Amino acid sequence: MSRRALLKQHQALLCLGTAVGSVPLRSIATHRLPPRADEASLYVHWPYCLKRCSYCNFNKYIPRSQNHAVMTECLQKETQTLLQLSQVSRISSVFFGGGTPSLAQPSTIAAVLETVSKNAHLSDDAEVTLEVNPTPAGKASLKDFMLAGVNRFSIGIQSLNDDHLRILRRDHNSQHALQTVSEARTLCPGRVSVDVMFALPGQSVKSWESELEKLLPVCDDHVSLYQLTLERGTQLYKQVESGELSVPGDDVTAVMYKSARRDLENAGFCQYEVSNFAKNNAVSEHNIGYWRGHQYIGVGPGAHGRFVPRAVGGAQREARTQTLEPDVWIREVQHHGHGTRRRIQLDHRGLLEEVLVMGLRMNEGITQQHWELFSPEADLKLIFGMSENFQELQVGGLLILDDRGLRCSWEGLALLDSILPTMLLELEMFFQSKGYQEDAQHLRNTDIQRDR
Ligand SMILES: C[S@@+](CC[C@H](N)C(=O)[O-])C[C@H]1O[C@@H](n2cnc3c(N)ncnc32)[C@H](O)[C@@H]1O
Ligand code: SF4
C-alpha cells in the first residue's frame, strides 16, 4: 500500500492501496489469521442522496427514481454472500452509512438486519447506527427506523449557521437540525451523535466558538467534529480556487480545533479519537472496531471491507472494495451474489501499517498487547524505540512510548497528519533492515471469479 493512500484512508476511513506480489524471502506472517477471525462488524452503504452538497466527494448518486425492492434484495444478497465468504459467526455492530441512508425505507433496514441474524449471531444489544440527514423531505420517521432495529442515530447537522448551510448546499436549515436532534434524543437517549464541520468558508474563530456554544447544550452524548477538506472536483473546491469563497488558513484552523477540544472537554465530553468526543462513555463501538484493526465487511455500492475470506481457504486479510456505480453493482449482485470490484491481500507490513495509522487516531493509542496480536515477533519498542526520528517526536512531546504502548499526546493528536509519514517510514525501514519481503498479492478482477 502506498503511504499516500494509507494517509488518505486515515483521513476518510476509506481507500486502500496496493503492493506487488513477490516470492517471499523471509515472511513473518503468511498463513497466520489476524485476531478475532470469527467476528466482524458490518458497514452497509446506501448510495443515494436528494441533492449534491457543495463539498462532498463521497460515493453518492442523485437518482431520478429508486427501486427500493431491488436495492433491498441486492443488499440482502450481498450481505449473505460476504458473511458466508468470511465465515464469521458473530457481527458485533452494524452501521448504515451513505449517501443518505435515512432515505432508505425502514423495511430495507429491517431486511438487512434479518439477513445478518440468519447468517451470524447479532446480539439484541449490538450497536446498530443509522446516518440521518436532518432534511424534512423524503425520509421515514426515526421511530420507524427504531422499530426496524436501529438503536443509534448519527445526525449530519454540519453547522447551526444558516449562511454556512446554504454555502454547503445542504437541504436543511438549523431549525431542521435542532428538531431532528431533539426527536432522536427523545427516542434514543444517550445514543445520538452529531456530525459538525469547521474551517468553513468565511468562518472565524469567534463565530465557530459561538456556534459550539449553541450546539453543546442541545446535543446528546456524542459529537464528531470534522475539519472541512476541500475535495478536488467539488463545487466548493472550484469556488475557493476561483476566489469566490475563502476558507480559514491552517493557523486559524488549528486554533479552531484547539478551542473546540477545550470547549467540549469543559462540557463533559471526553475526546477518544482525533474527531470524536463522548460523554458517559457513549463511544461509537463500530468506529472503535475500525481503529482497533478489527475485521469489517462492507456491503453496498463502493463499500470497503477488511476480512479473511475463510470459506475459500483464505488465511490472510483482504482489503475489498465493492463496485461504485449502483446500477452496475445491482447487476453484479444479481448475477454473482456480490459486487466486489477489487481485492488486495494485505501482507504483514500492510496490516501493521493499518494498525499503526488507525490506532494512533485514538487517545488510547496502540497498547503493547494490541500490537502483539498483529506483531508477536517485534514489539513497539523494538520497531520504533531506537529511531532518531521517533525520539525527536517523543522529545518534542508529540508521541509517548512506554510500557502501556504507543500514543499521541494532546498536542500530538492535533498534528497526527504530520507525524504519520515519519512513523510509516520507520516501520518500512524496520522491515527492510530485517530483510522481510512483502508477500502481498494484488488480486486482479479475474481472480474474483474464485468467490463466485
Ligand atoms: C459520509 S458523510 C454522509 C452523511 C450524511 N449524508 C450527511 O451528509 O449528513 C459523513 C460525514 O462526513 C463529513 N464530511 C463529508 N464530506 C466532508 C468534507 N469534505 N470535509 C470534512 N468532512 C466531511 C460530514 O460531517 C458528514 O456528516
Ligand atoms: S447528503 Fe451527505 S453524502 Fe449526500 S451529498 Fe450531502 S454530504 Fe454528501
The predicted model scores a pTM of 0.91
User: How remote is the CA of residue 312 from the centroid of ligand 1, in Å?
Assistant: 36
- 3-state DSSP helix/strand/coil percent for the chain, to nearest 5? 45, 20, 40
Domain contains 310: no
- Tell me which amino acid residue 314 is: G
- Spatial contact of 202 and 162, defined as CB atoms under 8 Å apart: no
Q: 3-state DSSP call for residue 197?
A: strand
DSSP 362: B
CATH of the domain at 99: 3.20.20.70
**Same structural domain for residues 271 and 124?**
yes
165 and 186 both lie in a single domain: yes
Which amino acid residue places its CA nearest to atom 2 of ligand 2? 99
Which residues form ligand 2's pocket by a CB distance below 6 Å? 49, 52-53, 56, 58, 60, 98-100, 133, 156
171 lines ligand 1 (CB under 6 A): no
Radius of gyration, alpha carbons of the chain: 22
Q: Would you say residue 153 lies in a domain?
A: yes
Q: Could you give the CA distance from residue 358 to residue 424 in angstroms, rounded to a whole number?
A: 12
In sequence order, what E strands does 25-178 have?
39-46, 90-98, 127-132, 152-158
- Digits of tens for pLDDT over the chain (452 positions)? 444 454 555 444 433 222 222 222 223 333 345 567 799 999 999 999 999 999 999 999 999 888 999 999 999 999 999 999 999 999 999 999 999 999 999 999 999 999 999 999 999 999 999 999 999 877 779 999 999 999 999 999 999 999 999 999 999 999 999 999 999 999 999 999 999 999 999 999 999 999 999 999 999 999 999 999 999 999 999 999 999 999 999 999 999 999 999 999 999 999 999 999 999 999 999 999 999 999 999 999 999 999 999 999 999 999 999 999 999 999 999 999 999 999 999 999 999 999 999 999 999 999 999 999 999 999 999 999 999 999 999 999 999 999 999 999 999 999 999 999 999 999 999 998 877 655 444 443 334 444 44
Distance of CA 72 to the CA centre of its chain: 23
Domain span at residue 427? Answer: 3-29+351-434
> Does the Cβ of 203 fall within 6 Å of ligand 1?
no
188 falls within a domain:
yes
Ligand nearest to the Cα of 168, by number: 2
d(CA 181, ligand 2 centre) in Å: 18
Residues with Cβ < 8 Å from 177, sequence gap 6 or more?
134, 155, 157, 158, 160
For ligand 1, whether the C-beta of 209 sits within 6 Å is no
In this structure, the answer to whether residues 101 and 24 fall within a common structural domain is no
How many angstroms separate the alpha carbon of residue 13 from the centre of ligand 2? 16
* Ligand 1 within 6 A of CB of 237: no
Residue 22 lies in a domain: yes
Cβ(196)–Cβ(208) under 8 Å?
A: no
Cα(412)–Cα(394) distance, integer angstroms:
10
Q: Is 57 found in the same domain as 22?
A: no
Task: Check whether residue 109 and residue 247 sit in a common domain.
Answer: yes
Same domain, 246 and 136: yes
Asked whether 439 lines ligand 1 (CB < 6 A), one says no
Residue 345 lies in a domain: no
On whether residue 331 sits in a domain, the answer given is no
Indicate whether 344 belongs to any domain: no
Cβ 226 under 6 angstroms from ligand 1? yes
DSSP code for 426: H
Contacts of 14 (CB under 8 A, 6+ apart): 8, 304
Count how many Cα atoms sit within 13 Å of the Cα of residue 344 in the half-sphere of its side chain: 21
Alpha helices, DSSP H, located in 63-170 = 68-86, 106-119, 142-148, 162-167
The reply to whether 115 and 8 lie within a common domain is: no
Which of 46, 52, 131, 236 should be mutated for ligand 2, with most atoms under 8 A from CB?
52
Spacing of C-alpha 317 from chain mean position: 18
Regarding whether 386 and 256 lie in a shared domain, the answer is: no
Q: Would residue 14 count as lying in a domain?
A: yes
Domain end residue (candidates: 239, 265, 289): 289
For the chain, how many structural domains are there in total?
2
